[in-house]
Amino acid sequence: MSRLPADPRVDQPAADALVLFGATGDLARRKLFPALYQLTRHGELDVPVIGVARSDWTDDRFCAQARSSIEDAVTDPDPAVVDRVMARLHLIGGDYADRATWEGLRDALDSHDSSQAVFYMAIPPGMFPQVATSLASVGLNERGRIVVEKPFGRDVGSAVELNETLHSVFPEERIFRIDHYLGKESVEALLVFRFSNTLLEPVWNRRYVRSIQVTMSETIGVEGRGAFYDEIGALRDVLQNHLLQVVSLLAMEPPVGPSAQFLHDEQAKVFAAMRPIEPDEVVRGQYVGYRDEPGVADGSDTETFVAARLEIDSWRWAGVPWYVRVGKGLAASAIEAVVEFQPPPRLLFDESATPPDRNLVRFRLGSRDGVTFALQAKTPGPDLDSQPVDVAVDFETALGERQGAYERLLADALAGSPRRFARTDVVEHTWRVVQPALDAPSAVHPYFRGSWGPAEADRILVAGDHWFVPTV
């Protein structure tokens, strides 16, 4: 008998159909069809894919769009694999408010003998409740699980409300909330790196760690998403979800076992111990030119950059500042977590020598992911002086090609594996953490594109700390 309690979220049956809501939309074009191509290439897709969209597109037009999105995203796609994807696709058009659309979907699933579908909502969040309850109106909530894209709510209240609506028709174990950072190999690698190397554990705490910072920077601006982004801003778009998930993996205690339940329990504990962010611990910025982007309101004060200081009141982390920042229109595209260690208590030999740089562990989580240890080594010559040296590994070179986030998440949703999805309490906790900053937004400071954001971001740093420029 297993020594661990049963996890109600494992052992879900594999899906026998994939239903894509928003199949003619932007997310499907950019991420989902390329992911379906990769799954097919690896022999991991053997179910029909039924697109549902409000447009009156024909199957041919739908396939043409799917084909071109694969060709745009994949270098030299294999035409035979593309044809295999096309052979699985079918589109149902119709008004979501019309019961006939849902009956049509049920008939289509019946025609494939489907009893366990994945219903993937690649649609604007305002439509999640309507789609979930409409599925239930024709009994399809008994025949599958739903995958919900972010943003999951826009504050604590709306996230709780959305959870209540979804729970009224689907049990928690059949609700898969996407945060695509949890699907990134590079992000999951944090967990494995921490808990496979005993070397790190003794120093991974307030005694040796001086600060931890996580940066997600993009050179691009809002790129045609102005109307959507202007309603959301950087705090809701990335900090509340992607960055806090990364923080939880860096901060958590080792999970009791590998299943979803134990991992999510540890994440929830991190957020339960995290103090809500006060408005004076947040700096917001907006790149110059943002207000001229199509779809952005005149005089908008939506932030395209946000930096915040977090505190985790646990035995492991009390007193250690966690800095997070995210922005568009910055100097480089990178995702990086930097763990900075305390300096040696005293200089070894020569009190007049320059103090050595502090040790760092840098996790590169974006393209060219890997890890760098910034250490000190003896400077050649007669003196007992040190200088910085990097010990670095590039994971793709060392380990080979890895799968993309959406490919892994789609495969998990089809297989019924919830580990890389966000649990309800974890999502509600993250909103609770950012809520005070949402309630009383601080002033927005302009910054130039190509910079590292407004200089005011230094204000939240503890004396002696600085922002690290990510290595790209």
Which residue lies nearer to ligand BG6 by CB, 209 or 238? 238
Least CB distance from residue 326 to ligand BG6, whole Å? 9
CB 234 within 8 A of CB 445: no
What whole-number distance in Å separates Cα of residue 341 and Cα of residue 411? Answer: 38
Q: Cβ–Cβ contacts within 10 Å for residue 207, how many?
A: 10
Q: Which two tokens stand for residue 268?
A: 């929830």
Burial of 334 (0-12, 13-18, 19+ CB in 10 A): buried
Which residue lies nearer to ligand BG6 by CB, 28 or 63? 28
Maximum C-alpha span of the chain: 85
Which residue lies nearer to ligand BG6 by CB, 246 or 433? 246
Which residue lies nearer to ligand BG6 by CB, 26 or 301? 26
Instruction: Give the DSSP H/E element, type plus range, for residue 415.
Output: helix 405-415
**What sections of 79-155 are H helices per DSSP?**
79-88, 99-111, 128-137
Beta bridge partners of residue 119, listed in sequence order? 19, 146
Least CB distance from residue 332 to ligand BG6, whole Å? 13
Which residue lies nearer to ligand BG6 by CB, 101 or 248? 248
Query: For strand 117-121 and strand 17-21, is the pairing parallel, antiparallel, or unpaired?
Result: parallel
Q: Which two tokens stand for residue 404?
A: 């993309």
Least CB distance from residue 177 to ligand BG6, whole Å? 13
What residues make contact with ligand BG6 under the rule CB under 6 A?
A: 218, 237-238, 335
Residue nearest to ligand BG6 (CB): 237
Question: Count H helices, E strands: the chain?
Answer: 15, 15
Upper half-sphere CA count for residue 43 (Cβ side, 13 Å): 0
Least CB distance from residue 150 to ligand BG6, whole Å? 6
CB 92 within 8 A of CB 101: yes
Length of the chain: 472
Least CB distance from residue 120 to ligand BG6, whole Å? 16
**Which residues form the catalytic set?**
242
Least CB distance from residue 283 to ligand BG6, whole Å? 19
Which residue lies nearer to ligand BG6 by CB, 55 or 333? 333
CB 270 within 8 A of CB 252: yes
